[in-house]
Structure 1
Amino acid sequence: MFLITGLLFVFGIGWLVSSDRKNIKYKRMGVLFALQIIISFLCLHTSGGIKTLASISKFFNWLMAQAAGGVDFVFGGLMIKPGGSVFFLGVLMPIVFISALVGILNYIKVLPFIIKWTGWALNKVAHMGELESYFAISTAILGQPEVFLTIKEQIPKLNERRLYTICASAMSAVSAAMLASYMKMVPGKYVVVAVFLNILSALIISCIINPYDTDANDELVQISKGNDEPFFQVLGTYITDGFKLAITVGAMLIGFVALVTFLNNSFLAIIHISFTTLIGYVFAPIAFLMGVPSHDIVKVGSLMATKLITNEFVAMGTLHGVADTLSVKANAIISAYLVSFANFGTVGIITGSIKSISEKQGSYVAKFSMKLLLGATMASILTGTIVGLYF
């Protein structure tokens, strides 16, 4: 039942804001949704899928342990209370190591091979367009803003509708460098499933909000033009980019968490209810339609709103502290929902990234930025709804 209500909600909102209601791509939506059901069933409802997810989670935990070697060497002298941990060191600093691995795999052309042919297969099945299919896969591996550089030659030539689709994919997918950090805060199986589902969810929402036909002569872009730079120069670039990302996320967390704390205390002093609880009531009906048990909808709604206003790290940190008070189904739904970049801050990052490549296209993105955020949020709702089907 809740799968139906969640789908109806997503489609209803998408239909209301659609740029071309008469040409919504129902067939493409059906194919992509069928892929989501198959993937989620195999991952969450079969012994082989459950074991595979457990192995992937175990692998990422192992990577985090390896990253600790470099972190301990640099920061090992810091005094930490017994049994305690430092979020920056334990969750954010490993991003540097994961980013280095991504750089190596990209340099030896493993990632380009995976992205190219997975994107090709996705396009053959769903007919979303080669550029869109390629970008949907590549953004889930490379992340943004770096992924926009792989299509910098195509961006100035894109019409407004194709530009919307690639930006929606960038907001819905998360980079490989972030996965291990996410798994420190929410169960790894939900992170992995959400990564797969979000790729398709973003394309489904685009079929409703932003339907169009692609050019039959569209060419698949290449993620790498060759190893022109020396290996250690490329590796150093990825390492420094990973460090910058960790610092940026850390700075945003300090600011956003402090802001939420300030608002909570201010609202408590004035109306005797915290800000996060108040916004939880606003999002509670949506949580209910997604299948969250009624006794958990306010808490889950609060986490949904926190992610939208701040970012997924702030919401995951809050979830980590209240997960024991939520049902298994509520945990599954909200965990999957949080695995994306759908928030106000990311809109600014994407707009700036596109603008740095093309001033004109950056202006287009700024014009539909709120519609972009709405679409990415609905993609997260769709992903969470599908995951909740199995609990």
Structure 2
Amino acid sequence: MLQGLLGLFAFISLAWIFSENRRAVRPGLIATGLGLQFGVGLLLLKVPGAQHVFIFLNHAVEILDKATTAGTSFVFGYLGGGTLPFAEPWPGAAFIFALKALPIIIVMSALSSLLFYWNIIPAVVRFFSLILQRTMHIGGALGVGTASNIFVGMVEAPLLIRPYLLNMTRSELFALMTCGMATVAGTVLVLYAQIIAPVVPGAMGHILAASLMSAPASIMLAMIVIPENADSTQGDIASPDNAISSMDAVTKGTASGVQLLINVIGLLIVLVSIVSLTNQILGLIPDVANAPLTLERLLGWVMSPLVWLAGVPWAEATTAGTLMGTKTILNEFLAYLALAATSPEALSEKSRVIMTYAMCGFANPGSLGIMIAGLGTMVPERREEIVSLGIKSVAVGTLATLMTGAVVSLLY
């Protein structure tokens, strides 16, 4: 109990230490963020059947993913998700990221443009304004982006509020980026749950709860680091592409999505390559503890105290820290594969559950590349600001998921 409480205090304190304006941090924001996080955790972990409501919402994302797969499989065949002409040697072996995961950016771009033309998204923004102004005191645009991040990716969610991005405050923009780093898309929830199901009972429920619980934590921590000093973004904005008809909106949204997709793929290749190059350079250094140095191992040592604060026993902190390092330097997919292969002697059942939550976020260099390319294309006027906030959003997003792990260590 004390370990988890100490972790919550430590993670919030770290955000406060690096705050741009400590005096502007509102205690009410912290209380509301913690209350929402514990509330969602209690609801999903303790109330029977509550998860089915959110699983139903996630089915909407699965429908969208299925619709996208229909298009990619028609164009790319089995490479885009069509029927495989061979047996898959292991789950996910035939998953080609560029052809299966990223094309949803184009569909979301076209769909969001259409929904703006129909004035649906502006109406949703106004609705969220009324609710979130009275709870976390954030605007409707950020509220829609935050809620969307729970079910879609870090690029698809901002697409829904693209016209609002230019006028968002710096605090709102950073909070949106941080939420993208602290959650995972609904399209990968099932995949991750399948991977860890053999070692984490009720894996689907835990993965879903993790993304939901980290959303309020990410907003709270982001607004501690960069407190709000202006009015939140609420207003009505017309269709982002100045469309004159529904078909025109779809066409222009598709064109914007294609440009966005190309930028995301290019920057993703570069950043992942830089990580690999760095690891090869570190490999020239003599082995340490009978293993070569890598960014994952280095960050794993740094993460050991942090995962201990999240509730993992110290005897298991090195193993858990390495998993967290893998997640942060590479991605959460590989980290979950490593978690599934970890022996019960190395991590207890409770530690595996805590790490399921702590690793459930997109905060890594590859995702940072996707976010910078995506947001930079959507709002090029703020590209420099987005780049300057990038690394900070990864750090705060990681703190948010660790904080969720600490909450679960108290509730589990």
Deviations 1:84-104 (A, max 9, x none): 445234999775898899799
Residue of structure 1 in register with 2:167 after alignment: 157
Does 2:39 align with 1:43?
A: no
Which whole-Å CA distance do the structure 2 matches of 1:19 and 1:124 have between them? Answer: 24
How far 1:214 moved relative to its partner? 4.4
Q: CA RMSD in A?
A: 4.5
Residue of structure 1 in register with 2:199 after alignment: none
Where 2:213 maps in the other structure, the secondary structure is helix
Residue of structure 2 in register with 1:28 after alignment: 29
Whether the 8 Å contact between 1:115 and 1:137 is mirrored in structure 2 is: no
Does 2:387 align with 1:366?
A: yes
Whether the 8 Å contact between 1:91 and 1:184 is mirrored in structure 2 is: no
Whether the 8 Å contact between 1:156 and 1:358 is mirrored in structure 2 is: yes
How far 1:195 moved relative to its partner? 1.6
Q: How many residues align?
A: 390
Does 2:221 align with 1:201?
A: no
Per the normalisation by structure 2, the TM-score is 0.74
Residue of structure 1 in register with 2:336 after alignment: 316
Which whole-Å CA distance do the structure 1 matches of 2:148 and 2:64 have between them? Answer: 21
Q: Of 170, 180, 194, which residue of structure 1 is paired with 2:190?
A: 180
Structure 2: which amino acid aligns with 1:189? Answer: G
Which whole-Å CA distance do the structure 2 matches of 1:61 and 1:138 have between them? Answer: 14
Which whole-Å CA distance do the structure 2 matches of 1:216 and 1:278 have between them? Answer: 39
Task: Kindly report which structure 2 residues correspond to 1:213-292, keeping only aligned pairs within 5 A, or say none.
Answer: 213-215=229-231, 218-219=234-235, 228-229=246-247, 269=287, 272-275=290-293, 276-292=296-312
Task: Kindly report which structure 2 residues correspond to 1:62-141, keeping only aligned pairs within 5 A, or say none.
Answer: 74=78, 76=83, 78-80=85-87, 84-89=90-95, 95=101, 112=121, 117=127, 120-141=130-151
**Cα 1:94–1:354, aligned 2, differ >3 Å: closer, same or farther?**
closer
How far 1:286 moved relative to its partner? 0.8
How far 1:115 moved relative to its partner? 7.2
Q: Of 304, 314, 325, which residue of structure 2 is paired with 1:305?
A: 325
**Cα 1:84–1:245, aligned 2, differ >3 Å: closer, same or farther?**
farther
Deviations 1:278-325 (A, max 9, x none): 543321111111101223211111111112112222222222222655
Residue of structure 2 in register with 1:382 after alignment: 403
How far 1:240 moved relative to its partner? 8.8
Does 2:206 align with 1:190?
A: yes
Q: What is the aligned-residue identity percentage?
A: 18
Residue of structure 2 in register with 1:211 after alignment: 227
Where 2:362 maps in the other structure, the secondary structure is coil
Which whole-Å CA distance do the structure 2 matches of 1:327 and 1:381 have between them? Answer: 18
Q: Of 328, 334, 341, which residue of structure 1 is paired with 2:355?
A: 334
Deviations 1:123-166 (A, max 9, x none): 33221222222221123334232333333333333343332222
Whether the 8 Å contact between 1:53 and 1:188 is mirrored in structure 2 is: no
Whether the 8 Å contact between 2:58 and 2:151 is mirrored in structure 1 is: no
How far 1:13 moved relative to its partner? 1.0
Whether the 8 Å contact between 2:163 and 2:237 is mirrored in structure 1 is: no
Which whole-Å CA distance do the structure 1 matches of 2:376 and 2:331 have between them? Answer: 22
Whether the 8 Å contact between 1:119 and 1:135 is mirrored in structure 2 is: no
Deviations 1:48-84 (A, max 9, x none): 336767888999999999989x79x837564447x74
Which whole-Å CA distance do the structure 1 matches of 2:63 and 2:376 have between them? Answer: 38
Per the normalisation by structure 1, the TM-score is 0.77
Which whole-Å CA distance do the structure 1 matches of 2:102 and 2:382 have between them? Answer: 31
**Cα 1:232–1:299, aligned 2, differ >3 Å: closer, same or farther?**
same
Deviations 1:168-219 (A, max 9, x none): 2232233333323332324211211112112101111023111124427832
The answer for unaligned runs of 5 or more in structure 2 is 197-202
**Cα 1:206–1:249, aligned 2, differ >3 Å: closer, same or farther?**
closer
Whether the 8 Å contact between 1:64 and 1:180 is mirrored in structure 2 is: no
